[in-house]
Structure 1
Amino acid sequence: MSPGNLASNPRVLKEAAALHGAGYGVTNVVCDYSEELKDVDDEIVAKVPWKVVRVPRPLGERGTMIVANRLARLVTAAGARVSPGLAALASGGPVSTLRRAALAVPADLYIAHYIAGLAAAAPVARRRGAMLGFDAEDFHSGEGTGGADEDFRMKMIETIERDALPSCAYVTAAAPLIADAYAATYGIATTAVLNVFPLEMAPAAPSPVAAGEASDLKAYWFSQTIGLDRGLQSFIEAMARTSVRVTLDIRGSNRWGGGDRLMAMARDLGIGDRVAILPKAPPDEMVTLSAEYDIGLSLETGGTESHRICLGNKIFTYLLAGVPVVMSDTPAQRALAADLGAAALLVSLSDPASIAAGLDRLGESPAALADAKRAAWRLGHDRYNWDFEQDILLKAVGAAFSRRGRAAVEGM
């Protein structure tokens, strides 16, 4: 279960495919929010061999959230405890709509994604006497950006998590430090399942590097939406300081104007001709598209606790494509960089000059760049891919069913 579109959450699709391939009967219950993604979702649904239930965006969702939020604040001000149900409505999302859809799907295990999915799935699992699983793509109660409103929103999310997570048959998380954070906060066992991609998406070899004199160093970044909180400003500033010529392609929706502001910055620095904004592309094309570049960017700003401990899917997309990764120095990315070796360049977003120096070291040495690409490709093929990581998920699910079976026998 997920409150997003299928096309916006490859992790939900990978999970469903792994479980279906292992012989489980699978139904995706997802929302049908984005008109922009509707056609892509239609294509996905036409291809997958399992069932998909698409839930339309509920009318009056925002109004319900505002009323629930006010009521929850009144309850809190009175010194009373906000119930998980009220917290779910106050935190936003299509909780009621997802819950109604899930109730119509009998299951032995309901697997929730995101907080709205967890808030919807938990009461359904209890009502049906089924197991509950949760996959944490982020440390959701650590996503607050500060301020009274954000602190209150995080308290509502923590209320939902504290109610549901101890009853989960298993919990997975998209990064080791996210798993550690959930284990420490709620005293639960949590397993890391990295947000990697199928090996079949990988190219047969990393893109070649021409021997001899250095050429342009081609950098790439992608996401659903181009924002100003993604560390790209520091990289663009570094580009203006390099000795080698660095280009940057930025792929994603520019609906909020983030791309326009980044382009304006590049022009002000005199490098507007080296930065380009590209349109969004389907998730299953991301590895192929990344393989055209020399370096990929994963520039988490560390503005929230969740961002400090996450490992985004960009990293593993680049590795599978045979592209070394420029990563900002957050705790999670610092720990991973130690394992990636030559395939990673760890940088400080507060020091564009040092970023420029690192780019020059790669760009001025075709041999070093070729080594970095080969290292990335090997890591993607040998370790950081879904063929490896899905086994961790399947073991967690299998163990949950085994425990349930033993409990049923012992209770006879």
Structure 2
Amino acid sequence: MHKTICIVTQSHLCRNPRALKEATALAAAGYDVHILTGSVSADLYAQDLSAIADFPNIRLQLVSDLSKTNLKSFADRFFNKLGRWAIRRFKIENSLALGYGALRYYDAARAIKADLYICHQELPTCIGSRLLNAGFKVAFDLEDWYSEDLLPEARAERPIGLLQRAESEALRKGSFCITTSNALAEKLAQQYSSPKPRVIYNVFPRPEISFQKTKLFSKPLKLFWFSQTIGPGRGLEQFIKILHSLKTPIELHLLGNVTESYRQSLIALLPSQHHLFFHDLVPENQLATKITEFDIGLALELNTPASRNYTITNKFFQYIQSELPVITSETEGQKEGYDLFNPGFKLSQQPDSAEIEALEKWLNSPEELQLAQNRAIEAGAFYNWENESKKLISLVGIALEK
């Protein structure tokens, strides 16, 4: 009889590749996988179904569906708004503020009677602590440091204490707990006086695309950055400020959803010797090919909030797997990913004139760029899902035997 693994998450699989990779790896290993999640878009849900179409032993169940206009979706929006208001106005912490369908997740999870639950993201981590206390076997994937995430204005509506208690339970009582970097694992263990969570890097399968052994770098160089949303607090403004000191023209390419006001603010910031281009989102399975169109990947991050400082952005891994040199912001997490192979240029949070001069020299050296690409190829052979998924399969096997 096959064992059932229930992955509890709260966002679309096509927008949460870590949960998708875990689901398909477990399904390929012979487990029956049941995914609980929510939907905000019929189009994205169709992409979710397409992503798991080759795995008949994966079942996707929506706990909340905001793409539909009905009483349930209205109630989900209302209770989420009520939960956030209660925190902001009265400091009453609650799980309603963490997502949609919060009142239904626990019962939906219990009903599956899985042999093991793996909880991702904020609301499922809180649900997982309830499942633990009810006697279920629960593991946790702390993709971020949830209680130390987001900018200050967003934290005003966030149940910080509730998240801290859930993180503590996950680290102390979970069948296993994993996270995305050694830097974050060590910090979490220190913060909660808990065992150190295991590390599974947020890497991707090696892309099935043909690369050039010797890359032909463009003139001007095409620098690339991507995210679901192009917005403040991600290091873009700081990098554009650096570009004011670079005489060498470059093209800055940004991929993601962006508001018109923020688009115009970036255009106004960019000095005239450079050019700025915006690109629409592409399906997840087309991203690796898209990245190869450019010369250098930008793994930009600020060192605040703390979660950003200790995690390694998935951009870094996707660039090296597409064989791009990387300009990496120096954070505790990024240093961990970068320093083993040095596949590009590491930029401090507040670079001085000497560092900016070194960056310009690097950008103008075809030999240095080619060397960085070679190191990116080496890094991509080490940091990939084929290697990291073995850790997950081992952890699940051990947990099920207990």
Shorter-chain TM-score: what band? 0.7 to 0.9
The Cα shift of 1:35 comes to: 4.8
Answering whether residue 27 of structure 2 is matched by residue 20 of structure 1, we say: yes
Q: Deviations over 1:264-306 (max 9, x none)?
A: 222xx2146x110000111222222112222111111122010
SS at match of 1:229: coil
Give 2:233's match in structure 1, choosing from 218, 229, 251: 229
CA contact (8 A) 1:3 1:30 kept: yes
Unmatched tracts of structure 2, length 5 or more: 1-7, 67-72
Instruction: Find the partner of 2:174 among 137, 147, 168.
Output: 168
In 2 relative to 1, CA 74–209 (structure 1 residues): closer, same or farther, beyond 3 Å?
closer
1:183 CA drift (Å)? 1.7
Indicate yes or no: 2:48 matched with 1:41.
yes
**Residues 238-277 of structure 1: matches in 2 within 5 Å?**
238-255=242-259, 257-266=261-270, 269-271=271-273, 274-277=275-278
Q: Which amino acid aligns with 1:88?
A: S
User: How far apart, CA to CA, are the structure 2 residues paired with 1:215 and 1:282?
Assistant: 28
Query: If the length of structure 2 is used for normalisation, what is the TM-score?
Result: 0.86
- Select the residue among 50, 61, 65 that pairs with 1:53: 61
Contact kept, 8 Å, 1:91 with 1:157, in 2: the verdict is no
Aligned equivalents of 1:379 and 1:326: distance in 2? 14
| Matches of 1:286 and 1:355, distance apart in 2 | 31
Q: How many Å apart are 1:391 and its aligned residue?
A: 1.1
In the alignment, the residues of structure 2 paired with residue 347 and residue 72 of structure 1 have an alpha-carbon distance, to the nearest angstrom, of: 38
SS at match of 2:172: helix
> Does the alignment pair 1:155 with 2:161?
yes
2:187 equivalent to 1:181: yes
Distance 1:312 1:102, change over 3 A: same
Comparing 157-166 and 290-299, the one that deviates more: 157-166
Q: What's the counterpart of residue 5 of structure 2?
A: none
Q: Shift in Å at residue 334 of structure 1?
A: 2.3
Q: How does 1:84-95 map to 2 (within 5 A)?
A: 87-95=94-102
Q: CA deviation at 1:352?
A: 7.2
> 5+ residue gaps in structure 1?
77-81, 405-412
Question: Identity over the aligned pairs, expressed in percent?
Answer: 27
Larger helix share, 1 or 2: 1
Correspondence for 2:320: 319
AA of the residue aligned to 1:296:
G
Alpha carbons of structure 1 residues 149 and 356: separation in structure 2 relative to 1, 3 Å: closer
Distance 1:156 1:218, change over 3 A: same
Asked if structure 1 preserves the Cα contact closer than 8 Å seen for 2:222 and 2:250, the reply is yes
1:126-164 CA deviation, whole Å, 9 max, x = no partner? 54x431011011111111544795496322211232344
In the alignment, structure 1 residue 377 sits paired with structure 2 residue 363 = no
Describe the SS at the equivalent of 2:294: coil
The AA in structure 1 aligned to 2:277 is A
Shift of 1:101: 2.7
> Which residues of 2 match residues 8-407 of structure 1 at below 5 A?
8-35=15-42, 37-49=44-56, 50-55=58-63, 56-57=65-66, 58-65=73-80, 67-68=82-83, 87-124=94-131, 126-127=133-134, 129-143=135-149, 145-146=151-152, 150=156, 153-186=159-192, 187-201=194-208, 203-205=210-212, 208-209=215-216, 215-255=219-259, 257-266=261-270, 269-271=271-273, 274-341=275-342, 343-351=343-351, 353=353, 356-381=356-381, 383-402=382-401, 404=402
**Conserved 8 A contact 2:207-2:321:** no
Relative distance call for 1:115 and 1:197 in structure 2 (3 A) is same
Greater shift after overlay, 150-159 or 187-196?
A: 150-159
More moved, 329-338 vs 158-167: 158-167
CA contact (8 A) 1:145 1:304 kept: yes
Partner Cα distance (2:237, 2:352) in 1: 9
SS in 1 for 2:9: coil
Partners in 1 of 2:85 and 2:321 — Cα distance?
Answer: 47
Is contact 1:176-1:192 (8 Å) kept? yes
Aligned equivalent of 1:410: none
The 8 Å contact of residues 296 and 325 in structure 1, kept in 2 or not, is answered as: yes
Number of residue-to-residue matches in the alignment? 386
The offset of 1:38, in angstroms, is 3.4
Give the Cα–Cα distance (whole angstroms) in 1 for the partners of residues 322 and 97 of structure 2.
41
Alpha-carbon shift at residue 69 of structure 1 (Å): 5.9
User: For the Cα contact (< 8 Å) 1:325–1:345, is it kept in 2?
Assistant: yes
